[in-house]
Amino acid sequence: MTKRVITFGEIMMRLNPEGYLRLVQASKLENTYAGGEANVAVSLANYGIDVAFVTKVPAHEVGQCAVNEMRRYGVDTKWMVRGGDRLGIYFCEKGASQRPSKVIYDRANSAIALATKEDFDWEKIFEDAVWFHWTGITPALSDNVAEICLEACRVAKAKGLTVSCDLNYRKKLWSTEKAGQVMGRLMPYVDVCIANEEDAKDVFGIEAEATDINKGQINYDGYVSVAKQLTERFGCKQVAITLRGSISASVNEWGGMLYSSADNQAVFSPTYTIQIVDRVGGGDSFGGALIYALLIGYNQQDAINFAVAGSCLKHTIEHDFNQMSIKEIESLAAGNASGRVQR
């Protein structure tokens, strides 16, 4: 059976200055396309997985550009609904050293934010699919989209799909209180929960003890406790947590943990020191690589190693989409981290 994956969310136009210029310095902006679930879909297509991206974009030329971009990377665009007036935009200013990266959203009243339940026939969308992925960004777009996401989860579970969710809390989109309420309704449908060092705390008040991400201090036992609490509260089968030690905007420590409720065991990846080229999309590349690894049957340790290696390499690539091959990721996961020229 084909291992078909469906992702659902918003695709936006990304505008950023060249290099490390600040927005106030820039006389021109680079134009690419991005979005949490779109980024995951591109990663999966890059790994040879049959994947479709579901969203709503305007019927005009800007919307078509977003469709064309997904097609370019081999993602099925059949379920990209057309309608509405605008595509969401975000401006990205890359940080360096002690200056943090900055994201400014211009996505209010985008086509997907104004979508209705009638736009998506989930029974048809999920035909022949085995996996459904979404992020906490999607239900944050509007109450309508939250209800659409809930319906999608219900249909996916009824049809026996594995459901994964990256909590991806965005304080610029909704409050912690609203996020906790809405996500609390959605999480019981989730089999694989993906989170970072802040998401579980912001959305559900579940915090890793003795950890200070701003000082690069990570308590591994604290994150095992976070994973256990998530599985106990919502019934998730697995919880994956990215472990980022932020030394500066340019240098991060990067690792991950995968916890399984079936055997109450957590496994940790190696930790990499990354010289960052572009941090945005790093978490999505982790999610895409993890889904791939679990989908094709990697064991727990190999799955988290592959996911962290893939997302480590993504941090070295401009813009949101991960452009690394399976072979390149497996090489890093196997210990080839020297970065020597390949001839």
Question: What does the pLDDT read at residue 210?
Answer: 59
**In the block, residue with structure tokens 């210990």:** 335
Q: Which of 243, 248, 251 is nearest to 217 (CA)?
A: 243
Q: What is the pLDDT of residue 1?
A: 47
Range(s) of the domain holding residue 167:
4-333
Within a domain: 339: no
Q: Provide the domain count of the chain.
A: 1
From the number of C-beta atoms within 10 Å of its C-beta (0-12, 13-18, 19+), residue 50 rates as: middle
Q: Give the residue among 309, 296, 331, 287 at the shortest CA–CA distance from 49.
A: 296
Rounded distance, CA 321 to CA 328, Å? 16
Segment-wise mean pLDDT, segments of 10 residues, the chain, 343 residues: 89 96 96 96 97 97 97 97 96 94 94 97 97 96 97 98 94 90 95 90 82 61 90 95 90 94 94 91 93 96 97 93 94 84 67
260 within a domain of the structure (yes/no): yes
This model's pTM is above 0.85: yes
pLDDT at 215: 57
- Residue appearing with tokens 């985008």: 110
Q: Are 295 and 45 in contact (CB under 8 A)?
A: no
Cα 241 → chain centroid: 12
341 inside domain: no
- In-domain check, residue 340: no
Q: Each residue of 313-341: b (16+ CB within 10 Å) or e?
A: bbbebebbbbbbebeebebbbeeeeeeee
Does residue 214 lie in a domain region? yes
| Residue 237 within any structural domain of the chain | yes
% helix, strand, coil for the chain, step of 5: 35, 25, 40
CATH of the domain at 244: 3.40.1190.20
- Is position 219 within any domain? yes
Nearest to 155 by CA among 129, 136, 178, 183: 129
pLDDT at 218: 66
Query: Would 90 be classed as within a structural domain?
Result: yes
Query: Closest Cα partner for 289 from 198, 166, 170?
Result: 166
